[in-house]
Amino acid sequence: MKSKLVLISLLVLAGVAAACGSKPESGPTNASGGGGGQTAQQTKTPETYPNAQLLADVKWVEEHAKDPNVKIIDARSKGYEQGHIPGAISINSGLLKDGKNNAIIGKEAFTELFQKAGVNNDTTVVVYDEGAGNGATRLFYGLEYYGLKDKVKVLNGGYLAWTSAGKEQSTETPTPAKGNFTAVPNDKLITTKDQLLNANLQQCTLLDTRSAKEFSGEDLRGNKKGGHLQGAIHKEWSEAIDQNPADGVPKFKSFAELNKLYTDAGVTDKEKTIIPYCQTNIRGAHSYFTLRLLGFKDIRPYEGSWAEWGNADDTPVVKS
């Protein structure tokens, strides 16, 4: 049994190492990243998001609200009892974090949580939050990580988009039949501290999604160490949202705007391994969704994020 556990650990560690390369024994490398695919500048820019199907609008949700193969999840931390989309089940995004281990909750707990919500293995899940928050995208990441990749959508504009459109609201709590969803973790959608310590990070793109003061080390946010991972690009998660829309409903910026945002920051190669991180992979999960929307193919958030890295004794930190 012990030998099997060791083998599993080695296979997990090999995940990011395979995507980013092992640490060089001497001197830096100029490897261009995984896949050898074309960069964003070499391909024709599409007019809309490459993965536009990951975003749902109010019309889509309204048309599919009574579809037995569609489940609506309310990821808000408060407000559900006062009103929600009819048929929606409340799952606070905070329930997905195992704070003691700086990790997402285990597959058994995740399975139980979403089976109670009536989710099946073939269910299409729509998640929403307040509109400009990151609760919905945290659930989106968790569901993709645990096996529902390409079966989850985020309501663009969240609950505010729904109410602003004058749609029906409910205060009734549904009692769905138990679903058959079984969580199966995908090791290609996550990064660990040990993987980061052993990978050649010059072959990855590290994406720090926190605030500028957290990135520089000025804001410790209660951590022992401040700063960022060496070589990380800084692009705050919230910049993906249009915070001052004409209709008053914050939504994701257009493809052209998002593409320019990340291209200008240096996040361009859609074949390369991208590792977003923040404090607890809530903001990082939001950027995971944004990059999925933009068509990036290999995104592996660092789940432990700065809550782990900034408090460990064996992790190097850069301040600026």
- CA pair distance 6, 201, nearest whole angstrom: 24
What per-residue confidence (pLDDT) applies to 22?
64
What value, to the nearest 5°, has the Cα angle with vertex 158 and ends 156 and 159?
145
Q: Which residues contact 211 (CB under 8 A, 6 or more apart)?
A: 219, 236
pLDDT exceeds 60 at position 40: no
Q: What is the pLDDT of residue 14?
A: 57
Evaluate if residue 319 carries a pLDDT over 80: yes
pLDDT for residue 17 is more than 70:
no
Split at pLDDT 50, 70, 90, the class of 16 is low
Q: 279-298 pLDDT, tens per residue?
A: 999 999 999 999 999 999 99
- pLDDT one-digit tens code per residue, 128-159: 999 999 999 999 999 999 999 999 999 999 99
Residue 4: its pLDDT value, please?
42
Q: Can you name the CATH fold of 52-164?
A: Oxidized Rhodanese; domain 1 (3.40.250)
User: Does the 31-48+187-309 domain belong in CATH 3.40.250.10?
Assistant: yes
Would you state the pLDDT for residue 250?
97
At 141, list the tokens.
Answer: 């990441």
Distance CA 258, CA 137 (A): 16
Is the confidence at residue 36, as pLDDT, over 70?
Answer: no
* pLDDT greater at residue 201 or residue 265: 265
Contact yes or no for 105/89 (Cβ under 8 A): no
- Rounding to the nearest 10 degrees, give the CA dihedral for residues 72, 78, 81, 82: -110
The pLDDT of residue 46 is above 80 = no
Query: In the structure, what pLDDT confidence band is assigned to residue 18 with cuts at 50, 70 and 90?
Result: low
pLDDT tens digits along 190-238: 999 999 999 887 789 999 999 999 999 999 999 999 999 999 999 999 9
- Per the CB < 8 A criterion, the answer to whether 249 and 164 are in contact is yes
**Per-residue pLDDT at 28:** 32
Return the pLDDT at 43: 46
What percentage of the chain carries pLDDT values higher than 90?
Answer: 83
Domains 31-48+187-309 and 52-164 agree in fold:
yes
Per residue in 68-119, pLDDT (tens digit) is 999 999 999 999 999 999 999 999 999 999 989 999 999 999 999 999 999 9
Q: Where are the domains of the chain?
A: 31-48+187-309, 52-164
